[in-house]
Amino acid sequence: MHLARFPRRRYTAGPTPLDRMPHLEQRLAADLGRPVPELWIKRDDLLGLTAGGNKTRKLEFLVADALAQGADTLITVGAVQSNHCRLTASAAVREGMACRLVLEERVPGSFHADASGNHLLFGLLGVERAHVVPAGTDLHAAMEALTADLDAQGRRAYLIPGGGSNALGALGYVACAEELMDQSFDQGVAFDHLVVASGSGGTHAGLVAGLHGVNANLQITGISVRAERGAQEAKIHGLAQEVATLAGVAAPVPQAAVAVEDGYVGPGYSLPTDAMVAAVRLFARTEGILLDPVYTGKAAAGLLDLVRQGRFAAGERVVFVHTGGAAALYAYRDVVASQVPTA
């Protein structure tokens, strides 16, 4: 792979931590009455830009391309509590650019102009304009519509797809795959499985392509947060092959490298589940790690259930890629909060 030939901005000083979660292991072993696999976490919630998260890695390549094209404004799309939109706005601030958003109301009635969480941060970060559209809108056309007055002003926009999930953005997770393998070697830890949230697809596909490219022989399971298994696997495989080709990986990405579990979505994208709430609370109370209610909470619920099912053997090592998003917790306070006893 030849990533050095791609322009890249750097928003994180070094690699994100790779840590074991011993207290979570102990809790699960006690609950199950049997040994559990080693559970590790790759802390991509600690990436640079405002409040961190996986989209930072993608934006390093996408914003570099925007600057190379002379753009002065970033335009992107996401749900009404989009982590990607928050980080795109943050990257725009870092680069002295403007930012405009298209917010898709994937759940009717979920947009509130005075919402907390990421929506609060859109305003603090100085987003120039946000256009709210209903689910099913042609999002690329909606982004194009926001460029009309920019063109009239002689400005130049750069359009970023939802989640930054095109082949160029997914290079960020090819780079992450290389980083993970370097850390694995340095720490003397060989992993058997990797679990990650699977949404717009760039993170999952980039990891598939990157780990395939370095012959890691590491089984990846994506926990879908929206789509059904067949559609998501087809999307991930197609994007993984596209990014592998871009990165210079000669061998085709095998279909078997892509696995998706879709049993943790619940009633729909961003809609809470009891398993998500339990996972958010368990990670917080055993490891002091905050998950988000839309992506990492449901992905962690999947991880925990797979452990309970015995899908990973005792003695195996499983790494969970934490893709961030804790800022969204504050918009779900009524769902995830629990009362602290007071005297």
Reported as a single tens digit per residue, the pLDDT across 59-89 is 999 999 999 999 999 999 999 999 999 999 9
Measured at the alpha carbon of residue 295, what is the angle toward residues 289 and 297, in degrees to the nearest 5?
45
Q: How confident is the model at residue 343 (pLDDT cuts 50, 70, 90)?
A: confident
| Three-state SS at 221 | strand
> What is the C-alpha to C-alpha distance for residues 68 and 41, in angstroms, rounded to an integer?
35
In a 13 Å sphere around the CA of 23, the CA atoms on its Cβ side amount to: 8
Q: Which residue has the higher pLDDT, 59 or 111?
A: 59
The secondary element (H helix, E strand) that includes residue 223 is: strand 219-224
**What pLDDT is stored for residue 257 in this prediction?**
97
Per-residue pLDDT tens for 263-307? 999 999 999 999 999 999 999 999 999 999 999 999 999 999 999
**Could you tell me if 174 and 245 are in contact, meaning their C-beta atoms sit under 8 angstroms apart?**
no
- Residue for token pair 């400005």: 155
**Could you tell me if 262 and 235 are in contact, meaning their C-beta atoms sit under 8 angstroms apart?**
no
Q: How confident is the model at residue 137 (pLDDT cuts 50, 70, 90)?
A: very high
Task: Give domain 55-164's CATH number out of 3.40.50.1100, 3.40.50.300, 3.30.2030.30, 1.20.1050.10.
Answer: 3.40.50.1100
**339 Cβ contact list (under 8 Å, min separation 6):** none
Residue from 138, 157, 137, 167 nearest 247 by CA: 167
Per-residue pLDDT tens for 241-260? 999 999 999 999 999 999 99
Catalytic residue among 82, 184, 200, 270: 82
Q: How confident is the model at residue 229 (pLDDT cuts 50, 70, 90)?
A: very high
Per-residue pLDDT tens for 316-338? 999 999 999 999 999 998 898 87
> What is the C-alpha to C-alpha distance for residues 299 and 275, in angstroms, rounded to an integer?
10
Q: Which residues is 322 bridged to in the sheet?
A: 43
**What pLDDT is stored for residue 337 in this prediction?**
83
Which tokens belong to 91? 């990257």
**234 Cβ contact list (under 8 Å, min separation 6):** none
Q: What percent of the chain has pLDDT over 90?
A: 91
Please check the confidence at residue 187 and state whether its pLDDT lies above 90.
Answer: yes
Per-residue pLDDT tens for 26-47? 999 999 999 999 999 999 999 9
Length of the chain: 343
**What pLDDT is stored for residue 275 in this prediction?**
98
**What pLDDT is stored for residue 35 in this prediction?**
97
> What is the C-alpha to C-alpha distance for residues 307 and 82, in angstroms, rounded to an integer?
29
Which tokens belong to 54? 């996986």
**Could you tell me if 144 and 131 are in contact, meaning their C-beta atoms sit under 8 angstroms apart?**
no
**What pLDDT is stored for residue 338 in this prediction?**
77
Q: How confident is the model at residue 165 (pLDDT cuts 50, 70, 90)?
A: very high
Tell me, what amino acid is at 248? G
Please check the confidence at residue 7 and state whether its pLDDT lies above 80.
Answer: yes
Which tokens belong to 132? 């709210």
Which tokens belong to 272? 């809470």
Q: Which residues is 40 bridged to in the sheet?
A: 20, 319
**Could you tell me if 221 and 236 are in contact, meaning their C-beta atoms sit under 8 angstroms apart?**
no
Beta-strand pair 38-43/260-261:
unpaired
Domain with CATH 3.40.50.1100 in the chain: 3-52+166-336, 55-164
- CATH assignment of 3-52+166-336? 3.40.50.1100
Q: Which residues is 77 bridged to in the sheet?
A: 102
Strands (DSSP E) found in 230-277: 260-261
**What pLDDT is stored for residue 107 in this prediction?**
87
> What is the C-alpha to C-alpha distance for residues 301 and 30, in angstroms, rounded to an integer?
18
Sheet-wide strand order for 260-261 = 18-20, 38-43, 317-322, 193-198, 219-224, 260-261
**What pLDDT is stored for residue 174 in this prediction?**
98
Query: What is the sign, positive or negative, of the torsion defined by CA atoms of 37, 261, 174, 83?
Result: negative
Q: What percent of the chain has pLDDT over 70?
A: 100
Beta-strand pair 98-105/193-198:
unpaired
Q: Which residues is 323 bridged to in the sheet?
A: none
Average pLDDT value for the chain: 96
The secondary element (H helix, E strand) that includes residue 101 is: strand 98-105
In a 13 Å sphere around the CA of 71, the CA atoms on its Cβ side amount to: 22
Q: How confident is the model at residue 108 (pLDDT cuts 50, 70, 90)?
A: confident
- Residue for token pair 């559209």: 133
Give catalytic status of residue 82 as yes or no: yes
